[in-house]
Structure 1
Amino acid sequence: MKAALISGSSSGIGKAIAEKFLGNGIKVVGLARDHSKFMPNEKHYIPIEADLSKVKKLPELMKSILKENPDIDVFVSGAGFGEFKSLENFSSLQIENFIDLNLVSHIILCRAIVAHMKSQGNGDIFILGSEAGVIGKKKATLYSAAKFGLRGFAQALRNEAGPAGVRVCLINPGMVRSPFFDTLEFEPDALETNAIETEDIAKIVFDFLGTRQGTIIDEINLSPASKSLRFKKTSK
């Protein structure tokens, strides 16, 4: 049985991937700050509560996870959040916290998992990037900074880890219909062609696992067929 560690497993893309894996007999260790929205009655699901923005605590967390679950051979690095406004409207502390969760935490988790996978001689790492890591747009300065950073990190890690049998794949989706937009002032318009579904990404990740070990899909870019936003009404 394959075993996967998924960060951000309680919602959105991470939740869809967890459900896909569990439905196909893959053990899932789920990392999330709040598991109340996703707690499957499934013996192969192991929930671990963690605030990944507390980056100094992550090395010990990963040491404990890998000690208890040495069979992990898949890692989906998907935790994060979005906040979109002009750069001058972020405080220094907000910038630090944003980059810690959306970039630094991914790097620290990957550092532990890639060492573990190299020692096994195999493994698959999926890093959830964004189209914002390919094209920068206004009011997405911090989000693009984090996602561009992840893209460069994934490319370099792929070249480091590939010869050791560890595959690294970066996934850059456009707008995905998910709780990601719950706290934002906008969301994809209701038409189904205006957003990617979380299940689409889950299927891509699962299908990748079935490919020949010697082949690496370095980067996958996805976008909805059409792009239209709906701005939410806000109370004055």
Structure 2
Amino acid sequence: MEVKHVVITGAGSGLGSSLATKYSEMGHHVTLIGRTFSKLKSLAEKIQSDKVSVYTLDVSSAQEVSQVFAEIKEENGPIDILVNNAGVGVFDDAEKITNDAVDQMIDINLKGTIFCSQAVLSEMKERNTGTIIQVISTAGLTGKVSESVYCASKFGVRGFTESLVKEVSDTDIHVLAAYMGGMKTNFWDDIYDKDEIEHLMDPDDVADIILASVKPRKNLTVPEVVIKNHIN
């Protein structure tokens, strides 16, 4: 099996952590990116592999993304698979969402996805190979009460991703848009109560579906996958 270099943003918990663990178990080199070093270090120790790297990064800073991705490629080689998983959500009535919250969601969810994708695209096109997985959420498919700005940021990622799919259609680069509902992660701690969270999807199951969707197969490609809770 060819060892791939997988870079995952928002890798410290939830789906990012599940994908990192599964990619590592497959024998690939996994680079963990996040804002909190302690979470990334803890995951790296749990994975117990000599093919794990850790980098802290604010994906909303174009300069920082460019600098850190250059370091990652120099120290660990070309990036074969990028998982844009970093995200943040602040939920309230549209008129109550603060300017800071608006900036945070647009900067991290939308601009962060764009900046990280830009950091790998040129090299992937030169090598004519690579995979970009955009973790978008069902909030990128339909408007939701109390999620107006969150949905706006995710609709933006959807537009960027659909355009990207067309831009690389004549290459061997694969772009997957993953639209999933809520998962059992700390993302929902301040929004749902414990019983509601218990009925959400397991991130390990979602990770399995994403991995199956990007597995190379003859004469087919999966541009998007929608993964919903039974309660949706």
TM-score, normalisation: structure 2: 0.90
Q: Distance in 1 between matches of 2:61 and 2:139?
A: 24
- Secondary structure of the 2:231 match is coil
Deviation of residue 208 (structure 1)? 3.0
Contact 2:188 2:197 in 1 (8 A): no
What residue in structure 2 maps to residue 230 of structure 1? none
2:6/2:28 contact within 8 Å kept: yes
Give the aligned partner of residue 19 of structure 2.
17
- 1:159 is displaced (CA, Å) by 0.9
Partner of 1:35: 37
Per the alignment, residue 192 of structure 2 pairs with 186
2-side partners of 1:54 and 1:181: how far apart? 25
Q: What's the Cα RMSD here?
A: 1.8
Asked if residue 59 in structure 1 is aligned to residue 66 in structure 2, the reply is yes
Out of 221, 224, 229, the residue aligned to residue 219 of structure 1 is 224
**Equivalence for 2:205:** 200
Contact 1:169–1:218 (CA<8 Å) still a contact in 2?
yes
Q: CA deviation at 1:12?
A: 0.5
Match of residue 152 from structure 2? 145
- Deviation of 1:191 after TM superposition, in Å, equals 8.2
* Deviation sequence 1:97-129 (CA, Å, 0-9, x none): 221001101001101111121111111110001
Counterpart in the other structure of 1:131: 138
1:174 aligned partner: 181
- Alignment length, in residue pairs? 225
Superimposed CA distance per residue, residues 203-235 of structure 1 (whole angstroms, 9 cap, x where no aligned partner): 1222234332653211100111224xxxxxxxx
Amino acid at match of 2:4: K
User: Does the aligned pair in 1 maintain the 2:15–2:203 contact within 8 Å?
Assistant: yes
Relative to 1, partners in 2 of residues 1:125 and 1:213: Cα closer, same or farther, differing over 3 Å?
farther
- Residue 167 of structure 1 aligns to a residue whose secondary structure is strand
For the 8 Å contact 2:44–2:53, the answer to whether it is kept is no
* Deviation of 1:95 (Å): 1.3
For structure 1, list consecutive stretches of 5 or more residues without a partner in the other structure. Answer: 228-236
Q: Residues 9 and 84 of structure 2 are in contact (CA less than 8 Å); yes or no, is this contact kept in structure 1?
A: yes
Which residue is equivalent to 1:6? Answer: 8
What's the secondary structure of 2:168's corresponding residue? helix
Percent identity, aligned pairs only, is 28
SS of match in other structure, 2:169? helix
Deviation sequence 1:66-92 (CA, Å, 0-9, x none): 222333211100001111012222232
Tell me if structure 2 keeps the 8 A contact 1:2–1:71. Answer: no
> What letter is aligned with 1:197?
D
Q: 4+ residue stretches of structure 1 with deviation over 4 A?
A: none
Of the structure 1 ranges 82-91 and 149-158, higher mean CA displacement relative to structure 2 is found in 82-91
Q: TM-score, normalised by structure 1?
A: 0.88
Q: CA deviation at 1:8?
A: 0.7
Q: Distance in 1 between matches of 2:10 and 2:181?
A: 18
- Amino acid paired to 1:32: G
Match of 1:163 in 2: 170
More helix by share: 2
Aligned to 1:232: none
